[in-house]
Amino acid sequence: LEPAPADSGITFCRTDLPPPNRITSHAAAVGDTQMASTLSSGAVRVATVEHLMSALSGLGVDNVLVGVNAAEIPIMDGSAASFVYLIHSAGIAEQDQPKRFVEVTAPIEVRDGEKYARLEPYFGFRLSFSIDFQHPAIDQTGQKVELDFAQTSFLDEIARARTFGFMRDVDHLRAKGLAQGGSLRNAIVMDERRILNKGGLRQTNEFAMHKALDAIGDLYLLGRPLLAHYSAYKSGHALNNQLLRALSQQTNAWRERVFDRLSDAPAAWARQWSWQ
C-alpha cells in the first residue's frame, strides 16, 4: 500500500504485468462476482478485493495505491484485521481536500428471487444484514446483524470476523484460481455438521458479521463512503454490485455531500477522523 494524491481514489496496480496495469476501484470495474469481488480492465484482473476494501472503508482511507504481484489479494487470516493492523502501523494522513460522500436521497433496491439488497436515506451509515444458511453450526450463532456505525466500532466488532466455507466447495474454488492459500489458518471451515477449526469461532456471530464485513467492502467499491441505510437478505457480491450500479445510474437517488467541519459530519464517519 502506497500513499496516493487527494481525490485519486483507490487504485490497484498489477506489478507483475506491463502497463497499462492499473484499475481504479469503482462499481463499473467489477467483473466476476462468484465467491469474491473481482476488478477487471482488459487483461488486468485483481480478485478478492473485498476484505482490503472493507478495512479501507472502516479506517476512512479515501486514496491509496495498492500494488499486487498476482491476480488475487492475499487472504491473510481470512478477515480484515491484518490489513487494519498494518494500515494503523503505517499511519493515516489527512489530505488537503474535503472528504466526499455519496448521500442516498431516495430508496433503491435490487432483487434476485427472495434475495435483496436495498439502500435508503440515512444520515450516517447503518447496516442490517440477514443470512440463511441451513447448517447446524450457523443456526446456533444467529443469522442477523444490525449495525449503526455511530455506535459500532469496525475495529472491535467487525474487522476480525473471518471468511467461512464448506469442504465441498474447496475444489471448485481452487479450480477457478481462488483460495489458493486457503486453509484452517485463514477461514472457518465446515463439513456437513460442524466447524472443523480447533479454536472454534472468534465471536458468537462471526458468520453473519463476516457477511457484513464483505458488504462493507463491496459497497466501498462505489469509490466514496456512503451516507445510507443498507439492508439485505442473503445478498452477496453479485447483488451488492448490482445495487451500486443501479444507484450510479439513478442520479436522482443520490447526491455528493461534503463536510468541511468535523462537527457537521455524521457520527458514523466523524469517529474515523479521530483515529488519524
Given 3-state DSSP classes, what are the helix, strand and coil percentages for the chain, each rounded to the nearest 5? 30, 25, 45
CB 255 within 8 A of CB 103: yes
- The residue length of the chain stands at 276
Q: Which residue numbers are catalytic?
A: 237
Chain Cα centroid distance, residue 98: 23
- d(CA 74, CA 180) in angstroms, rounded, equals 9
Q: Which three cell numbers stand for residue 173?
A: 474454488
DSSP category for residue 242:
H
Q: Give dist(CA 199, CA 32) in Å, integer.
A: 33
What single string gives the DSSP state of each residue in 181-197? T-STTSSEEE-SSSB--
Q: Which residues contact 47 (CB under 8 A, 6 or more apart)?
A: 32, 36, 37, 38, 39, 71, 72, 73, 177, 178
Helices (H), the chain: 50-59, 81-90, 136-139, 170-175, 206-220, 237-249, 267-275
